Chain A
Amino acid sequence: DTGVSQDPRHKITKRGQNVTFRCDPISEHNRLYWYRQTLGQGPEFLTYFQNEAQLEKSRLLSDRFSAERPKGSFSTLEIQRTEQGDSAMYLCASSLDSGIGELFFGEGSRLTVL
């Protein structure tokens, strides 16, 4: 499978715990995006990488959220001290670094904070 893959697909955790999601983009894609989607809403931009550089981060992202893409390939999104409001689908997408590149999405990682 050469698409964007995300792991885990579903995570249930207790409030206050830390969680980490992983995204493996399509191998030749330089750009990687993280989005959050709650039920009935469109995706909400979280952050964006070009290769290993984190170029943009949403102001909506609190200090409890951190994302990395250490070697310019896979990326991780960590949420520390989870809150119930963090419950959402976390989507990863990648695109080629060619100006406006078409986005390819993973299946998402659903987080449920109890």
Chain B
Amino acid sequence: KNEVEQSPQNLTAQEGEFITINCSYSVGISALHWLQQHPGGGIVSLFMLSSGKKKHGRLIATINIQEKHSSLHITASHPRDSAVYICAVYMDSNYQLIWGAGTKLIIKP
């Protein structure tokens, strides 16, 4: 079993839909990253959080430390949101990141 599990692996939605991507982890963590990678592109950090909720534009990230679960939400989705969204956690014991496999999101116009 992977230490960081993301769901779904693939998600296709229509423009305007509310999107939720989930991340569950099994290790003790110091913080959790949500990152975005466009096809052939570099990786961009969206959020880093260790508790509660953060919002940036149409993106919202939440984390529940007790349940070891985080979600990334996209409101009013747009085709330019199409990308791979990756959850990565910083382990308690060191500064290494453990990466989820990513969720490939396609937003159709």
**Contacts A/B (CB < 8 Å), 10 sampled:** A41-B101, A42-B88, A42-B99, A42-B102, A56-B96, A91-B42, A91-B43, A93-B43, A100-B31, A100-B48
Query: Contact between A102 and B48 (Cβ–Cβ < 8 Å)?
Result: yes
- Which B residues fall within an 8 A CB radius of A? 30-31, 33, 35, 41-45, 48, 50, 86, 88, 90, 94-97, 99-102
Cβ-Cβ contact count across A and B, 8 Å cutoff: 48
Query: Contact between A104 and B30 (Cβ–Cβ < 8 Å)?
Result: no
A43 within 8 A of B: yes
Tell me how many residues of A have a C-beta within 8 Å of chain B.
19
Interface residue from A43, A56, A93 paired with B94 (Cβ < 8 Å): A56
Cα(A44)–Cα(B33), bound, Å: 15
Q: Mark A93-114, 1 if CB is under 8 A from B, else 0.
A: 1000001101111111000000
Given A42-B86, A42-B102: A103 and B97 within 8 A (CB)? yes
Given contacts A43-B99, A91-B42, 9 further A-B contacts (CB under 8 A): A43-B97, A48-B96, A99-B30, A100-B31, A100-B90, A105-B35, A105-B44, A105-B45, A108-B43
A22 within 8 A of B: no
Cα(A1)–Cα(B9), bound, Å: 34
Task: Give the Cβ gap from A67 to chain B, nearest Cβ, in Å.
Answer: 15
Residues on A with beta carbons closer than 8 Å to the beta carbon of B88: 42
Cα(A42)–Cα(B44), bound, Å: 13
Task: Give the Cβ gap from A36 to chain B, nearest Cβ, in Å.
Answer: 12
Q: Which residue of B lies closest to A92 (CB)?
A: B42
Residues on A with beta carbons closer than 8 Å to the beta carbon of B48: 100, 102-103
A45 within 8 A of B: yes
A31 within 8 A of B: yes
Query: Contact between B101 and A100 (Cβ–Cβ < 8 Å)?
Result: no
Given A100-B31, A100-B90, A102-B48: A45 and B97 within 8 A (CB)? yes
